[in-house]
């Protein structure tokens, strides 16, 4: 017998709150996941049911709502995940950026949905030695979950987290603990990354434009209407001919003629007169 009762009505209310807040769609197949993640919050607050938790959430929005959203959102990532994107960044995008910004020497990259930081640190490692001295290089790393942002900004990872990195990268970019169990990102690599909490459905405070946007394994949680809106916003935030990289299980509809599909979940912003 389950510890807490989760009725269909409770689940529908939870799903509605999550969708209204951050656009994530929780179908009926997510009910078990919702139970396991929110049961921890019910225990932590000394409550007896999901109905009681929803009432508690309503009465304690300021204190509990971040915990509620953080519990629901999924954060699965690794260094150089979908490595072909980083190869493309190094071999094609970086030379274009150097040509485009030879006068202002400014580079802007956005990791949207950065989770615990592996993606923005992978970006930083890829471009670290790519630009001549005197260039202004910044990576914006955002996520909805404040807990993972805290971990990302700290830059500390277990040995198992960094197993995919070769020894050269580990020596160059990380400080290893005496027992070899922990690795901390060196300040030099962290210096170009700015971590910030952002709900993609709320107004975006940054002005851009960005040379490339990584939004990988984030769009999969949204419905089509929300995805289409985000694709339009990303287009507006990119420089002409800038790039949008999405996750391997995500797609952009053919109706989005404002982007050119280059294959391997890589899209390039078209010219304004190509938009329909």
Do 143 and 248 contact (CB within 8 A), yes or no?
A: no
Residue 138: CA atoms inside 13 Å, Cβ hemisphere, count? Answer: 12
* Distance, CA of 61 to CA of 56 (rounded, Å): 8
Which residues have CB under 8 Å from 157's CB, separation 6+? 118, 174, 182, 183, 184, 185
For 254, the token pair is 């053919």
Judged by DSSP in three states, 4 sits in coil
Is 176 an active-site residue?
Answer: no
17, 41, 143, 211: the active-site residue: 143
CA distance 37 to 241: 41
Known catalytic residue: 143? yes
Distance from C-alpha of 119 to C-alpha of 111, rounded to nearest angstrom: 7
Q: Which residues does the annotation mark as catalytic?
A: 37, 143
């Amino acid at each position: 017998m389950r510890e807490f009762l989760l009725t269909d009505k409770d689940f529908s209310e939870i799903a509605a709150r999550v969708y209204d807040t951050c656009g994530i769609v929780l179908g009926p197949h997510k009910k078990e996941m919702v139970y396991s993640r929110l049961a921890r919050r019910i225990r932590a607050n000394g409550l007896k049911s999901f109905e009681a938790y929803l009432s508690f959430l309503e009465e304690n929005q300021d204190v509990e709502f971040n915990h509620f959203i953080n519990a629901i959102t999924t954060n699965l990532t690794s260094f150089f995940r979908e490595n072909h994107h980083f190869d493309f960044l190094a071999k094609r995008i970086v030379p274009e950026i150097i040509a485009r910004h030879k006068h202002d020497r400014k580079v802007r990259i956005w990791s949207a949905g950065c989770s615990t930081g592996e993606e923005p640190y992978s970006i930083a490692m890829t471009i670290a030695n790519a630009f001549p001295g005197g260039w202004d290089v910044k990576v914006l790393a955002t996520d909805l979950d404040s807990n993972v942002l805290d971990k990302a900004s700290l830059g500390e990872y277990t040995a198992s987290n960094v197993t995919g990195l070769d020894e050269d990268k580990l020596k160059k970019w990380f400080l290893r603990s005496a027992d070899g169990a922990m690795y901390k990102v060196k300040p030099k690599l962290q210096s170009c990354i700015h971590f910030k909490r952002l709900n993609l459905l709320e107004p975006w405070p940054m002005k851009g434009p960005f040379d490339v946007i990584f939004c990988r394994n984030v769009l999969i949680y949204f419905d089509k209407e929300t995805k289409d809106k985000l694709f339009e916003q990303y287009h507006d935030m990119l420089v002409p001919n800038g790039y949008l990289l999405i996750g391997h299980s995500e797609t952009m509809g053919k109706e989005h003629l404002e982007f050119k599909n280059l294959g391997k979940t890589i899209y390039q912003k078209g010219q304004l007169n190509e938009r329909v």
